[in-house]
Amino acid sequence: MRLLACNNRKHLSFTKDIIGDDEIPPYAILSHTWQTDQEVTFNEMLKRSATKKSGYKKIEFCAKQAQLDDLQYFWVDTCCINKADHIELQDAINSMFRWYRDAKQCYVYLWDVSARNVSSERWEEEFRKSRWFTRGWTLQELLAPTHVKFYSKDGVYLGDKQSLERQIHEITGIPIAALHSTPLQNFSIEDRMSWFGNRQTTRSEDKAYSLLGIFGVYMLPNYGEGYDYAFKRLRREIHQLSQDLSQQQASSQSMVQTSQLEGEGTVRAPWLVPFPRPRSFVGREIQLARLAAHVSSADGQRLAIYGLGGCGKTALTLETVYRTREVEPTRAIFWVPAVTRAGFEQVYQEIAALLQIPLRTDGRDDVLQQVKMKLSEDICEPWLLIVDNADDVGLLFEHVDEGTGAQRLIDYLPRGATGSIIFTTRTREAALKLAENNLLSLGALDNVEAADLLKIRLLPEHHAELKDKETVGDLLKMLFYHALAIVQAVAFVNTNDLTLADYIALYRQNESESINLLNEEYEDQGRYRDTNNAVATTWYISFEQIRKVNQLAAHHLVFMACTANNDIPASMLAKSKSLVEQTKALGMLKAYAFIVERVPKLGEQTMHERVRRFDMHPLVHLTIRGWMKGQHQWDIWTERAMKRLTELIPYGNPNTREVWSAYLQHATHVIEIPEALKMESRMTLLERLGECERTLGRYAAAEQTYRQAIEQRERMSGSDHLDARTGRSQLARCLLHMRRGEEAERMLRKELASDDPALTTAHKQLKLTNMHNLAAAMRQQGKTTEADEIDRQTRVLTEDTFGAEHELTLSSQRSLAATLRRQGKHAEAANLLRQILETSTRTLGPEDTDTLFTMRELGLLLFDQADYPEASQLQHDELRLREKYLGETHPSIPSCVYNLGSTLSRQNKHVQAESLHRQSLTRHQALLSKDDPVLLDTMAGFARCLDAHGKVTEAELLHREVLSVREKALPRGHVDTTWSLYWLAEALDALGRYDEALELYERALEGFKVVFGEEHANTVGCRNVLEVVREKVGSRAEGGIEDGEDTQAGAEEMGESGTEVAIRSKRRRWRDLTKWKRGKE
């Protein structure tokens, strides 16, 4: 074997040819697919001309990864084999499987998978289609190594063989057990053959040669013999090996039987297991296969099973030892609990007696040492040692007393070549110390396994209930498929003769009942005597261990129990003295499986580059809350959580939205805790939360939060308190966002009527804010005259009080400009809006919401003035800024898309315009109820877009739907209803249905007169169109034309339908008459 070495200067050089496995240093290995004429050869590496080829990038990648894994040497098939030397090539082909198997790390470089700045969905799609899964040689490169890591062509780590096992299994059909290093001989020959499937190789003979290691056979390659002959030789070698193994097994079995019969009776291997076989064990076949492979490999290996308390570690291990006894009756099996030192020593005494060890002294340490020595002998019979409940690392790794000379318990564990050890522990930290990287993580049962466990444990008289799949699924989901929780629930059902539905109802009655049920003890023969079996008690023990070792970890745990249990940012937790201290505290909670860290986004490589986020197991979350209440700590930590969140959550600053938005669900959770309802800090948190919800556009949620804050503030501080009045003002603004202008008007008038003449500066600012919002409420209802009057008053007062460039002054000016636009005073509005935009951009910044609102208003004004190029550019800019600073999911985005679509429609960019309108409608439908005013505006706008593009029939249907809802929901004569009447009349007019159109135009004109006045552009435009339609109706009454006939002659001459021509001719007329049609506000 020849390796590449990389020195500190990143210079690559070959090692000497290594003969013998003992001389091979630790190394990494590369797995990849070859690219034609771009791979680096052995001679090119020697001549230092390798860098000219693109394949050299893969060699550099492998060198870099090896160094990161503290490996100096690595191997790449393209250049580490001298293919010109046929003897070397033959040896390499037969050694390839072993070389991949013995590598410390295998790096899979996927040149056709990109993971830079793409979504996880896109990455996985490319991964599943990768050419690497279709090549012949990569099969053994996947199966042989223990550690296989996958990387994109950009060098981004995608996952390893274990974390991606589901995807790999689905892509290849290879059993997951095979991906977990289960010995390949455990799988049938045909199964292994099927894994090759339709894989391809460049040379046909390689389809056979690439399988040599998979079947453990040796065969000289003979390129040129062809696929058929090569495969016949492979089959022959496999058959011969199979026969040899069968003969060896028969001979071995005969020797065992002979040795058993030579004595006075049948010889039984020593057996010391305190529990019966678990009668309700189900599933876990992948884990059982992994454990069987571990036991059969022997060589003194150690494996640790770790997982959340009660997940079934002991049951899995018991099933393993009973299965081992069935297939290997001559293997001695010993079970040692690691709960106390005395208990450990007692079991060693019993092992010594079973092994008939002649003890030279009466000292216990001597017994421990003698058992270790006996099992460590190479001539000893096969054995398996289980060390159960190895949770207390101190018990195993610490000396009892330096003066006694007693060794650590871990030092008394044997390391014989004929045996193996399995540990069970609740913590990953202990597992790593006990078995290094040979770990087996045990999680929850899957839904099939959980249902099977439920059936086995449930009394037969309750089995009829299992037919109710919905109830069964509900129960299992409620218990999160946790093994011990299911067993405990069934025990309660059986003991108290309840139905499953009864248990669910009792559990969900309230939190206290849930905690009581999780604390229920039950009898279990598979657990230690004098041990509490309740799932809650199991976790209390773990929590007490954490409290003893790491106070910060314990504090984090109880803090998390007060918040929501999912997506917990590390930045939300209490600050620690150092990053190391924080890392260790969170690491301990992860080690106990109380929390799980979320997988970072692609490209986030270090803790400094990402926000670490955690999920807390829901049952642990509930149990810790119960512990806190029992210890009278619940109120204390609830208030601490409230104050911490108040520190972190601002009053809705959009510039830091990405930071504080992660805290909102936790704030919502905390304020709903019953014990928090009377806490004063809750009011401040509610007010901050409401502003943040409003900033994100979650107006319905903001309304509820504001109302809660107002109710508590009025109750504790009085209704005239400034904070209470501010809360009501914020609520009114929120109602305006939801187009509830009348309700907002009533609130604001009441607030303004109760103002004290002797106002402080804060009171004056609040009063002017309320006046500003009142003008918006009037404008929203179409009462532009009253809005104009209020706006002008507010503008003067704000300039006198705060100055020309104050934020409130700019808002009042923008409000006035909005009113002027709706009154048709475009020139005055335009001058004012351009001044406001310049000042707002300069003083507040382009990303400020006031600046963005000004951009929107100016864009709508330019639309009204038919300046479509400038309007579309401004709307493009507004959309870009909103998406950047408010987020692509902010509710204001669909309206921006709508406005841009309307402007592009006027520029005859019909395809783009229709696409944007459909996007806007789809987004609004996902956010809003069917009768929401904003959604109705969007539908109406889309209908007008379709109308303008000649799709009048579809437009008519939408207009009718909008009009129907508005007439039911809005008061008679409402401005929105008036517009709907007009737009439906336009559609009917375009279709030549003049009688229907005339009636609607007349109703619309009456509405415009009331809302806008006789001389307003909207009223004048409607009156002009109405006169034209009256002429059409009159002409038809005199026998001049029928519906649509006025355009039919031209249609016949040009070969077009009458409807299309009618629509086109009317469009030309409407552009002159209806330039005043409004955009989205």
> How confident is the model over 570-615, as pLDDT tens digits?
999 988 888 899 998 998 888 888 888 887 654 444 444 467 899 9
Q: What is the DSSP string of 788-854?
A: HHHHHHHHHHHHHHH-TTSHHHHHHHHHHHHHHHHTT-HHHHHHHHHHHHHHHHHHT-TTSHHHHHH
Instruction: Give the model confidence (pLDDT) of 445-456 as tens digits.
Output: 888 888 888 888
Q: With DSSP H G I counted as helix, E B as strand and the rest as coil, what are the percentages for the chain, rounded to 5? A: 65, 5, 30
Q: Is the pLDDT of residue 254 over 80?
A: no
Mean pLDDT over 873-883 rounds to 92
Q: Is the pLDDT of residue 262 over 70?
A: no
* Rounded Cα–Cα distance for residues 678 and 722 (Å): 20
Residue 744's Cβ-count burial label (10 Å; 0-12, 13-18, 19+) is buried
| Sign of the torsion angle spanned by Cα atoms 887, 892, 896, 902 | positive
* Per-residue buried b or exposed e for 289-314, using 16+ beta carbons within 10 Å of the residue's own CB: bbbbbbbbebebbbbbbbbbbbbbbb
In the structure, what pLDDT confidence band is assigned to residue 260 with cuts at 50, 70 and 90?
Answer: very low
The pLDDT assigned to 1043 comes to 46
The pLDDT assigned to 121 comes to 56
What the block records as the tokens of 913 is 């315009």
Q: Which of 562-571, 585-594, 943-952 has the highest mean pLDDT?
A: 562-571
* Per-residue buried b or exposed e for 911-932, using 16+ beta carbons within 10 Å of the residue's own CB: eebbebbebbbebbeebbeeeb
Amino acid at 1043: D
For helices 784-802 and 761-780, what crossing angle results, to 10°?
160
* Per-residue buried b or exposed e for 517-526, using 16+ beta carbons within 10 Å of the residue's own CB: bbbbeeebeb
Give the three-state DSSP class for 265.
coil
Q: Is the pLDDT of residue 1065 over 60?
A: no
Distant-in-sequence, close-in-space partners of 690: CB < 8 Å, separation ≥ 6: 702, 705, 706, 709, 727, 730, 734
Lowest mean pLDDT among 489-503, 680-694, 736-750: 489-503
* Rounded Cα–Cα distance for residues 640 and 980 (Å): 53
Domain boundaries, the chain: 4-182, 183-267, 271-441, 458-518, 535-632, 928-1073
Share of the chain above pLDDT 90, in %: 34
The CATH architecture that domain 271-441 belongs to is 3-Layer(aba) Sandwich (3.40)
Contact 273, 318 (CB under 8 A): yes
Contact 854, 821 (CB under 8 A): no
Q: Is the pLDDT of residue 1042 over 50?
A: no
Q: Is the pLDDT of residue 1020 over 70?
A: yes
Mean pLDDT over 606-629 rounds to 79
The pLDDT assigned to 626 comes to 86
Mean pLDDT over 656-672 rounds to 89
Mean pLDDT over 1050-1059 rounds to 30
Q: Is the pLDDT of residue 249 over 70?
A: no
Instruction: Give the model confidence (pLDDT) of 786-813 as tens digits.
Output: 999 998 999 999 888 888 888 888 888 8
In the structure, what pLDDT confidence band is assigned to residue 245 with cuts at 50, 70 and 90?
Answer: low
The pLDDT assigned to 948 comes to 82
Task: List the one residue out of 1032, 933, 943 whose CA is nearest residue 989.
Answer: 1032
Q: Is the pLDDT of residue 924 over 50?
A: yes
* Fold designation for 535-632: Arc Repressor Mutant, subunit A (1.10.10)
Lowest mean pLDDT among 562-576, 983-997, 1046-1060: 1046-1060
Mean pLDDT over 1044-1062 rounds to 33
Mean pLDDT over 341-355 rounds to 87
- Higher-confidence residue of 447 and 979: namely 979
Distant-in-sequence, close-in-space partners of 900: CB < 8 Å, separation ≥ 6: 872, 875, 876, 879, 916
569 forms beta bridges with 613
402 forms beta bridges with none
| Sign of the torsion angle spanned by Cα atoms 362, 364, 366, 367 | positive
Q: Is the pLDDT of residue 129 over 50?
A: yes
Considering the domain 928-1073 in this protein, what is its CATH number?
1.25.40.10
The pLDDT assigned to 247 comes to 57
* Rounded Cα–Cα distance for residues 1054 and 1061 (Å): 9
Instruction: Give the model confidence (pLDDT) of 5-64 as tens digits.
Output: 987 667 889 998 887 766 899 999 999 999 888 899 999 998 888 888 989 999 999 999
What the block records as the tokens of 923 is 């987004």
The pLDDT assigned to 268 comes to 63
Share of the chain above pLDDT 70, in %: 88
| Sign of the torsion angle spanned by Cα atoms 456, 457, 459, 464 | negative
The pLDDT assigned to 246 comes to 57
Average pLDDT, the chain: 84
Mean pLDDT over 826-850 rounds to 90
Q: Is the pLDDT of residue 1071 over 60?
A: no
Q: What is the 3-state secondary structure (H, E, C) of 1065-1080?
A: HHHHHHHHHCCCCCCC
Q: Is the pLDDT of residue 387 over 90?
A: yes
Contact 303, 420 (CB under 8 A): yes
The pLDDT assigned to 591 comes to 82
The pLDDT assigned to 61 comes to 94
Mean pLDDT over 115-138 rounds to 80
Distant-in-sequence, close-in-space partners of 865: CB < 8 Å, separation ≥ 6: 826, 830
Instruction: Give the model confidence (pLDDT) of 167-220 as tens digits.
Output: 898 899 888 888 887 788 878 788 888 898 889 999 999 999 999 999 999 888
Lowest mean pLDDT among 270-284, 606-620, 645-659, 978-992: 606-620
What the block records as the tokens of 1072 is 């002159």
Q: Is the pLDDT of residue 682 over 70?
A: yes
Distant-in-sequence, close-in-space partners of 1039: CB < 8 Å, separation ≥ 6: none
Q: Is the pLDDT of residue 525 over 70?
A: no
